[in-house]
Amino acid sequence: MSNSPQPDWDPRSPAVLDDQIVAYDRMRSHCPVAHSDYLHWSLFRHADVLRVLEDHDTFSNVVSLHPSVPNGMDPPEHTAYRALIEPYFATERVRAFEPVCRGVAIDLVDRLPAGGEIELMDEFAQDFALRIQCAFMGWPTELHEPLRRWTRRNHEATLSSDRAATGAVALEFEGFVRRLLDERRQAGDAAPEDATTRLLRERIGDRPLTDGEIVSIVRNWTVGELGTIAASVGILSHYLAAQPGLQSRLRGEPSLLPAAIDEILRIHAPLIANRRIATRVVELGGRRLEAGARLSLIWASANRDEAVFGDPDEFQLDRDPAQNLLYGAGIHVCPGASLARLELRVAMEKLLAHTREIALVPDRPPVRASYPASGFSSLPLWIDRCS
């Protein structure tokens, strides 16, 4: 007989998927540590999530059968790989990337119609994420459409929990990266000096990185970039379209954008959850979790916890940034946070600077994305673009 607890909720029910943020708010208030067959143990409170993030001895990141470098590692193994990748997101490298990022954003805004209805996800957000990621990695434009299709299949495979489908999309992505690595090896000294080429020269201890390790690193970067950056641009644009007063203020005071972006994405998270596994028996929220229990940390709830933020929907520019779990916390805090902040700031700066107004479209509501995605799969907006 199974010892698994009875489900407290169904994260794939229509009531939850119709509006994930509202559903998670309800769970946080009446069942903050909840079990389900799909997500196992879900944590909805800020304090519980932060406890897990800070206790990597009790809560392991090694949650998959497949290696994940360095996200799916614990110390001391994680420490060496983390030290290897952090320089890729150093301040000077991020700053040097800003002109490229700005150029992509301006080009995409210029391609929008002068006025009228647009589909923001298709016409701006997804293209921005694709082009920025390829530019950062030094990948050719020919990869844009294959990566767009791969992102869609990867989302579908994750949602289905079909191991065969998940394995197939993983092999497809591995094929992309291995071809790029082979091309750089063949080019020798003529290979472009970009992030992909630099990874070929990295060493861990006394040996070079294997191709499998490089594929894993790049896959972590790419999945995070393509999914969360596109979702973030959609969430930010929708929020400002619904808040014309704030939109006008940020258009006139772009220096407020960094704080405003972090606060909007606290209110509506671009990333729903991450996973951990308990290494020992532990109690969370009055529930006993056995060793080996799988956990889902629900960012989209923890960052709206009334115990920390008061009214979770109240927009405040002066929040304590240390409380915002947008980019995680502890030893696994997102190494690319500074790059993501740059990209989102530039995207919204250019979208606001090159428009007079961004508005919701009456009678054309957006279509919300389904777990594991967040934000919107379709976002009709009306724009008045500057000439």
What pLDDT, on the 0 to 100 scale, is given for residue 41?
98
CATH code, domain with 171: 1.10.630.10
In a domain, 21, yes or no: yes
3-state DSSP call for residue 255?
helix
- Whether residue 205 lies inside any domain: the answer is yes
**Residue 348: what pLDDT?**
98
Query: 5 in a domain, yes or no?
Result: no
CB atoms closer than 10 angstroms to residue 320: 9
Position 8 in a domain? no
Q: Which domain covers residue 344, as residue numbers?
A: 14-385
Residue 3 lies in a domain: no
- Integer distance in angstroms from the first to the last C-alpha of the chain? 69
- As for how many domains the chain has, the answer is 1
Predicted local confidence at residue 1, as pLDDT: 37
pLDDT of residue 154: 82
- Spans of the chain below 50 pLDDT: 1-2
Single pTM value for the model: 0.95
The answer to whether residue 378 is domain-embedded is: yes
What are the DSSP calls for 298-350, one per residue? EHHHHTT-HHHHSSTT---TT--GGG--TT--GGGS-TTHHHHHHHHHHHHHH
Per-residue pLDDT at 46: 98
pLDDT of residue 298: 98
DSSP 73-133: --TTHHHHHHHHHGGGG-HHHHHHHHHHHHHHHHHHHHHS-SEEEEEHIIIIIHHHHHHHH
Helix or strand run (H / E) with residue 33: strand 33-36
- pLDDT for res 315: 98
pLDDT on residue 170: 86
Q: Which residues pair with 59 in a beta bridge?
A: 278
Write the CB contacts of 132 (distance below 8 Å, at least 6 apart in sequence).
101, 104, 225, 229, 343
Convert the pLDDT of each residue in 109-168 to its tens digit: 999 999 999 999 999 999 999 999 999 999 999 999 899 888 888 878 877 777 788 888
- Looking at the domain assignment, is residue 377 inside a domain? yes
Q: Per the domain annotation, does 140 fall within a domain?
A: yes
The CA distances from residue 163 to 149, 151, 168, 170, 190, in Å, are 19, 16, 8, 10, 40
Q: Which residues pair with 34 in a beta bridge?
A: 42
